[in-house]
Amino acid sequence: MYNFLPIAYFQDKFVPFAEATISIATHALHYGTGAFGGMRGIPNPENPSQILLFRLDRHSQRLSQSAKFLHYNLPATKIQETIIEFVKKNRPTSSFYIRPFVYTSDLGIAPRLHNIDKNFAVYGIELGDYLSPAGVSCRISSWQRQEDASFPLRGKICGAYITSSLAKTEAAESGFDEAILMNSQGKVSEASGMNIFVVRNGQIITPGFDHDILEGITRDSVVTIAKNFGIPVIERAVDKSELLIADEVFLSGTAAKVVPVNRIENYYLPENRPISEKIREKLVAITENRDSEYQDWVFPIDI
């Protein structure tokens, strides 16, 4: 059961979370015509009257871009300003997750994006570890990642997550923690809600944007951190068999952060994971504002 933050942003105003409700006839509920973002926040360990948000500007920009697919002009500045005010009103005292989203709010039944009302909302939940930091088991999903030719994968569009949901439940019901989806060419794409990285011979390999992945912000952070460490990062096609013989495999995402993979199907991966551990520790230090090199990734809000 989630502990929701008490205040939400809904229909252009801040209201108690319990009052932020929609009709069962809402267009987005029926057609998946929405888009969402997600970002982490924590109280500053050195200053309890300050909240730290991770890469607020990038998250706001991505949601603004996602909204364009819905024919909704929502400036990134509006998103960012609303989230700042949202945090100030809620004054969270523990690690939390913010979910800003846009959606078609009409009560009509025609599947369309023109001549239809849209809206922007924000809510949040208290959130610790989304997945075990000790590592997860994965299965190769029987469900296939969508193609950009038929779905705007550059956005976090709500409707796309039926595939993620099917894959996640299939994995859980067959005894695994997480799913890995292949694309239409039979190459590795991503996990149900995270990007994937493979370590072999001191190099990090990860599927590129041409393999139907989400443009993950944590993924971008991992790539940047690795390159600054001097670790080669190669973006290319990844075969299923390459996962099974990797030195390390790890997942990244806003909710999950960096999580190692212990097992894929019935293949166990090495327990020694120096590269993924190094990146995970660096990312934690950055989000806690303990790393001056990446201070521009951390947005402090005085509450």
Rounded to 10 degrees, the C-alpha dihedral 254/255/258/261 comes to -130
Contact 100, 45 (CB under 8 A): no
201: number of Cβ within 10 Å? 8
Instruction: Give this prediction's pTM.
Output: 0.95
pLDDT in tens, 131-176: 888 899 999 999 999 999 898 998 999 999 999 999 999 999 999 9
Sequence-distant (6+) residues with CB within 8 A of 244 are: 264, 265, 267
Domains annotated on the chain, with CATH: 7-126 (3.30.470.10), 136-287 (3.20.10.10)
3-state secondary structure of 244: helix
State the average pLDDT for the chain. Answer: 96
Please report which confidence band the pLDDT of residue 37 belongs to, taking 50, 70 and 90 as the band edges.
very high
pLDDT of residue 246: 98
pLDDT of residue 103: 98
pLDDT of residue 255: 85
Residues pairing with 233 in the sheet: 204
pLDDT of residue 45: 92
pLDDT in tens, 262-301: 999 999 999 999 999 999 999 999 999 999 999 999 999 9
Contact 205, 238 (CB under 8 A): yes
The DSSP letter of residue 289 is: T
Q: Is the pLDDT of residue 74 over 90?
A: yes
Please report which confidence band the pLDDT of residue 124 belongs to, taking 50, 70 and 90 as the band edges.
very high
Q: How far apart are CA 190 and CA 213, in angstroms?
A: 6
Q: Is the pLDDT of residue 220 over 90?
A: yes
Amino acid (one-letter) located at 180:
I
Q: Identify the weakest region by mean pLDDT among 138-147, 195-204, 251-260.
A: 251-260
pLDDT of residue 219: 97
Please report which confidence band the pLDDT of residue 184 belongs to, taking 50, 70 and 90 as the band edges.
very high
Q: Is the pLDDT of residue 260 over 90?
A: yes
Q: Is the pLDDT of residue 212 over 90?
A: yes
